[in-house]
Structure 1
Amino acid sequence: MNPSFIFRSGALITATGISFGAFGSHGLRTIKPPLPDSKISSWNTASSYLIYNGLALLAISFHPGLLGASRKYRLASGLIMSGAAVFSGSIFALVLARDKFRWLGPITPLGGVGMIAG
């Protein structure tokens, strides 16, 4: 994983978080039957965490340690990417599927652990 890949991943994750946040603020309210406010709040939390983690990846991509022999920055980046995908992705799926995939609920914290470890 090189700095360019980490930067592009951070930019994509941030843009996705912004886009999904906008959809959550506008599009989710038009779904019939209406979603409860708690589901919309969960959606907004997931999109916010995508933004935060995308920004973290952008910051890591500029760290000079990425150009050296140290693998800790690459490991941190991978953990942040995968953690954000699992955490936010599972919440988005739970909201859109209206809890049809309840088994995703216990997976969500694993994504949080990945983000924290990163």
Structure 2
Amino acid sequence: MTPTLRFILLAAATLGFSGIALGAFGAHALKETLTARSHTSTWQTAVLYHLIHAVALLALAGVAATWPNARAIAWCWVLGTLFFSGSLYWLSLGGPKILGPVTPIGGLLFLVGWALIAWSALQQTKA
């Protein structure tokens, strides 16, 4: 297994595991807190994007050997999850409002990762 493939699979497993755990934690242990703060939907959005990118990483692992920028895509999605979902989790629990601007940075990293997918696909057709 190549180092890139190992990284992508470990990232997918870590994000998948933590996304499920945080989803369950929010639905059960934090239900009252999130409801009282009116942040249930914010938490759910964080979990949704978290899990979507865990699955996307798993799919990326299938083509990692043929795409030279697979590692860059993976890093965009890992950091995007940390910034986007992480800031939403923190804000949902009453974290400092200064984290608000971090969320769009995560969203931008998600977009860059997806744009790199398109770029890779275009490069494959030229080869």
Give the alignment's TM-score, normalised by structure 1.
0.85
Report the Cα distance in structure 1 between the residues aligned to 2:36 and 2:81, rounded to whole angstroms: 24
Report the Cα distance in structure 2 between the residues aligned to 1:93 and 1:55, rounded to whole angstroms: 23
Task: State the 4+ residue runs in structure 1 displaced beyond 2 angstroms.
Answer: 33-37
Q: Where does structure 1 lack aligned partners over 5 or more consecutive residues? A: none
Q: Where does structure 2 lack aligned partners over 5 or more consecutive residues? A: 114-127
- The one-letter code of the counterpart of 1:13 is L
Deviations 1:64-109 (A, max 9, x none): xx335x532111111111111110110111111x1x4101111101
Cα RMSD of the aligned pairs, angstroms, is 1.8
Residue in structure 2 matched with residue 58 of structure 1 by the alignment: 58
Report the Cα distance in structure 1 between the residues aligned to 2:89 and 2:36, rounded to whole angstroms: 13
Give the alignment's TM-score, normalised by structure 2.
0.79
Report the Cα distance in structure 2 between the residues aligned to 1:58 and 1:45, rounded to whole angstroms: 20
Instruction: Give me the identity figure in percent.
Output: 32
Decide whether the 8 Å contact of 1:28 with 1:35 is kept in 2: no
Decide whether the 8 Å contact of 1:94 with 1:104 is kept in 2: yes
Report the Cα distance in structure 2 between the residues aligned to 1:5 and 1:52, rounded to whole angstroms: 18
